[in-house]
Chains A and B, each alone.
Chain A
Amino acid sequence: MRVLVCIKRVPAPGARIAITADAQAVDTAFLGFTMSPHEECAVEEAVQLIEKHGGESTVLTLGPAEADEQLRYAASLGVNKAVLLPIDGPDWDPQRTAKSIADAITSIENAEGPFDIILFGNESADSGGFQVGVRVAYALGRPMVNGIKGIEVGDGSLLARRESDAGLDVYTLPMPVVLGVKEGLNLPRYPTMKGRLNSKKVQVDQHTPSAQPGGQQMVALQQTAEQASKTVILGTGPEAAGAVVDMLQELGVL
């Protein structure tokens, strides 16, 4: 089995998200970088699928040269191969990103054979466009369901589960297939020492993307309105229990 997983390098903000003076980007001066928790689960699933069914997994990202860090993180968990679509400057819009990824997949598949399963995150952590995976699947002519929280591979088909208002919906999809997954699909492992060492040796293949910009463009970032709140300190330690219960009584939740 061949599995591909697409991830995006994003900053990892803490208590608040600072933006640069020109409002064009998140101020990452004091931040580390990561990928979306949904994508961490996609990586874990790719590794588990190969452990179970044999074959090879590949991780792909379109981003700056520094995204090498996220590719190698995936490799440290057990992904076999890595592909970087290098870009300079700000993020590419979703249409341009998807076109570039679809082109790269086509060229990888022509050289190495088709992917049975391509995994995306349900949405990227930062821009949250809810579309790159859907667009790639359409370009490749493959079925795609987003929001997946359970995967079972059968013989030539795959069972995928997703939560809906009514309960748990099941999709029975033919392979090759594209899925967008949500956190909760599995519990991602942490890298081992051996995995970290192996990841340093993984070769990162580069495919230069060339797609044209699409029709959505970021103009500027802006902070959300902070509600000015003054915290009422009800007390310190267990002695505060009386004040807490008074407050609960006032709210009418007792």
Chain B
Amino acid sequence: MLLVLIEHDRGTMSAASGESLTFGRTVAAAHGLVLHALTIGAAADGLAASLAAHGVSTVHQAHHDMLSDYGPEAWGETLAQAVRTLSPTVVLATGTDRGNEVLAQAAARLDVPFMANALEVLGVNGSWELMRVRWGGSLLEKSSLTAGTKLITVAHHAVNESPADVPGAATATPFNVELEASLARSIVSGRVERAAGVTLATAPVVVSGGRGVGSPEAFAPLEELAGLLGGVVGCSRAVTNNGWRPHTDQVGQTGTRIAPEIYIACGISGAIQHWVGAMASKKILAINTDKEANMVVKADYAVLGDLHKIVPAITAEIQRRRG
């Protein structure tokens, strides 16, 4: 059995779950495993229909009073109990904050290995050999996993979700969990909902500035250009480290991964930890004084020269054409 842990928030399935379902279906077919899913909390019982479309044959629905909201320890313990009862060959989730956290919690409880952010199963020969990402995606690692049940997450955004050719029955089976009352300690105790609007992660245009911008005030022309294009401003870590912009603007390995139609990188050298957060952009325009800068070399387009002159000129040209 290959068991996919379904990530959901108070009953709403996360888009990321589609990735592990799609990946899991391929792996299950290649290795002769049946595809099952685990949903945690009664609020997720209604997800069975979507899971059928992904080819899931059985949905184990974990129920307990303490599972009405997310808690890493309660969810990890639930998954550990499911592994003990069902003995799956593989447990799979998507490598999101929650996916990685719950699998790590379960692995700790079961004292088994856990492989985060896999891309591909390379071979199965007693141990499983997989390709996984290191350095937030800048480097690959072939890695072997030796355990009765293999706990794996598939790297987020590495797989495109697609439905199964033949839907599964998604037969619902209740799964009763026993949780110690103490595990309530790490259940979400409150929430501040996010205000609607364009975010760095979803913006169609991102205009970013790096150390070359020079000061917090000098971001004003970048703000203006981003505003004209319906986009947002981003930045490099050199900028957040200097306290010029908040960390929520940072693009990269330890910042936000972006995927805009166009990324305009001004005064950013293109260190690999920055690049890995920007490389999913459809097109990249680098504005830099240094024609050898990694950002310039890797970009689709570049303008060479001083960003303080070039950015306002682009803004003026857009305004001129719009009349």
Contact = CB atoms under 8 A, between A and B. Distances in A.
B140 A236 contact: no
Contacts of A1: none
Interface stretch (A47-55, A65-73, A131-139, A198-206): A131-139
Q: Is the interface of B mostly helix, strand, loop or mixed?
A: mixed
Interface in A1-25: 13-17, 19
Contact of A215 (B147, B248, B296): B147
A168 B192 contact: yes
Interface string B97-138: 110110011011101111111000000000001010111111
Nearest to A38: B254
Contacts of B22: none
Contact of A37 (B141, B190, B254, B297): B254
A37 B277 CA distance: 15
Contacts of A171: 186-189
Interface residues of A, number: 83
With a 10 A CB-CB cut-off, give which of B254, B261, B299 has the most chain A CB atoms: B254
B268 to A, nearest CB: 12
B302 to A, nearest CB: 5
Which A-B residue pairs are the 4 nearest by beta carbons? Answer: A184-B247, A238-B313, A215-B113, A138-B108
A167 B192 contact: yes
B51 to A, nearest CB: 19
A173 interface: yes
A223 B140 contact: yes
A24 to B, nearest CB: 11
A130 B309 contact: no
Nearest to A146: B101
A172 interface: yes
A154 interface: no
Contacts of A110: none
Given A216-B143, A232-B300, 7 more contacts: A17-B272, A123-B100, A146-B97, A224-B140, A238-B313, A241-B313, A251-B283
B59 to A, nearest CB: 22
A144 B168 CA distance: 36
A176 to B, nearest CB: 11
Contacts of A244: 285, 301, 303, 314, 317
A81 interface: no
With a 10 A CB-CB cut-off, give which of B70, B247, B262, B312 has the most chain A CB atoms: B247
Contacts of B133: 128
B97 A145 contact: no
Contacts of B145: 215-216
Interface stretch (A56-64, A82-90, A111-119, A158-166): A158-166
Contacts of B65: none
Nearest to A226: B298
A174 B303 CA distance: 54
A15 B193 CA distance: 38
7 contacts: A134-B72, A134-B76, A144-B105, A144-B186, A231-B302, A241-B314, A241-B316
A200 B244 CA distance: 31
Given A135-B107, A219-B129, A245 B72 contact: no
A162 B187 CA distance: 12
B31 interface: no
A183 B271 contact: no
Interface in B183-202: 185-194
A221 B143 CA distance: 9
A126 interface: yes
Contacts of B146: 215-217
Contacts of B29: none
